[in-house]
Amino acid sequence: MMRRLLPFLLLSSCASQPVAPTDRADDRSRFDAYVLGRTQDGGLPHVGCEKPCCTDARSRGQVETPACIGIHDRETDQLVLIEATPGIDTQLRLLHAKAGVSGRSRQPVDAVLLTHAHIGHYTGLMYLGHEVADSQLMPVHVTPSMAAFLRSNGPWSQLVEQDNIELIECTPASVDASGAPGVVFEPIEGLQVEAINVPHRDEFSDTVAFRIWGPARTMLFVPDVDRWDAHPGMLSRLLSGVDVAYVDGTFYDGSELPGRDLSEIPHPAMVTTMDVLAEHAQMHPGSIRFIHLNHTNPALTDPALQQAVQERGFSVAEVGERQRL
């Protein structure tokens, strides 16, 4: 089924490989998007893991934080954070350094966007509370389902009640190509965002991907999804018109988790995604970039495997990399 999506996807997408600083599209760009983290929710090293992937990381002092994107408006110095992860302090410091801003301790960013209620994606909100940053009415853009979860459960409800955060509900689009469109919103002036529902384990809230438009380029962020063929036209809906896509790369091929029932933690393996989007990657090398890698995923730490992924026209996201929008 997924192979049949490709002709439409290739015709409808205006994706291109990541734009170099000298590219003409750079003349129109206003926003810089930075990768602030690239691992699955538990990061690396992973609590309770004594496998070489984590013991070696501990011995090297290597720390990788969960998937997160930061966006800097070069005209106004406003900042947007996509996901509030447990590594929020490290990620905010990196974003501030990349953007060249300082003095943002109480209001470290101007808006936060959340995809769903799994621990690597929203628990960093606690650091905006009165015990830490004590932010004031920080705009947090979420779906109605996610907003209801945060309002109804502590300690998140306290953030709302004490005006540390302001929940702003966004209506998500259906991922089905023939489904209802979402409402495009601007977390900061000039940056347009559409939330799109994607299938995932929705114990506490629904899950969305974000399509993000700047004046020069369009970016997709979909760190969690169960599978690409869950709905007719799903991949086409997500990727159409996208210049760079950060997609779920949780597992390389599934063999890195022997003894686990992967049906309980469904994600499309990187090898599956590369097979499905092989033609797309050949036409637009580097435009599909894997993020949200599990601590056991060998593509996270193996340079030879990273090179093999790149030779197929894909890339593993690097912390600190920039995309101009």
Task: Give domain limits for the chain.
Answer: 3-324
What superfamily does domain 3-324 belong to in CATH?
Ribonuclease Z/Hydroxyacylglutathione hydrolase-like (3.60.15.10)
Instruction: Kindly report the pTM of this predicted structure.
Output: 0.89
The predicted pLDDT at position 158 comes to 97
Element (H, E) at 262: none
Tokens encoding 259? 């003894």
Question: Per-residue pLDDT tens for 195-220?
Answer: 999 987 778 888 999 999 999 999 99
Can you give the pLDDT at residue 7? 33
pLDDT at position 267 over 70: yes
- Predicted confidence (pLDDT) at residue 46 exceeds the cutoff of 70: yes
* pLDDT at position 99: 97
**Tens digit of each residue's pLDDT (9 = 90 or more) over 88-114:** 999 999 999 999 998 888 899 999 999
- Both tokens of 40, joined, read 């699955």
Beta bridge partners of 82: 69, 113
Percent over 90 (pLDDT), the chain:
69
